[in-house]
Amino acid sequence: MVVNMTQSTHSLSPGYVTIYVTSAGGKSTIHVEGEGTGELQSARSPERVRRMFNDDTWKAYVETIRRRMR
């Protein structure tokens, strides 16, 4: 399990992301979960910006984990 927490000076602070792997039936699943209350993640921010910070940011990281698991 990896937990990334924002520093107090980060634009997404306060917030965290937890990345962990579960296995069942011979298959592994990577989970990425997090929460934050930074302005860029708020409902006041445009959807494309929220998506970039909430979803797209971790895709490359997850792909790296997948490659290393093989």
Q: Give the residue extent of every domain in the chain.
A: 2-69
- On whether the CB atoms of residues 4 and 32 are closer than 8 A, the answer is no
Q: Residue 56 has what pLDDT?
A: 81
Phi, psi values for residue 53, rounded to 5°: -80, -35
Please give the model's pTM, rounded to 2 decimal places: 0.69
Is 69 a residue whose pLDDT tops 80?
A: no
Q: Is the model's pLDDT at 24 over the cut of 80?
A: yes
Q: According to the model, what pLDDT value does residue 68 have?
A: 87
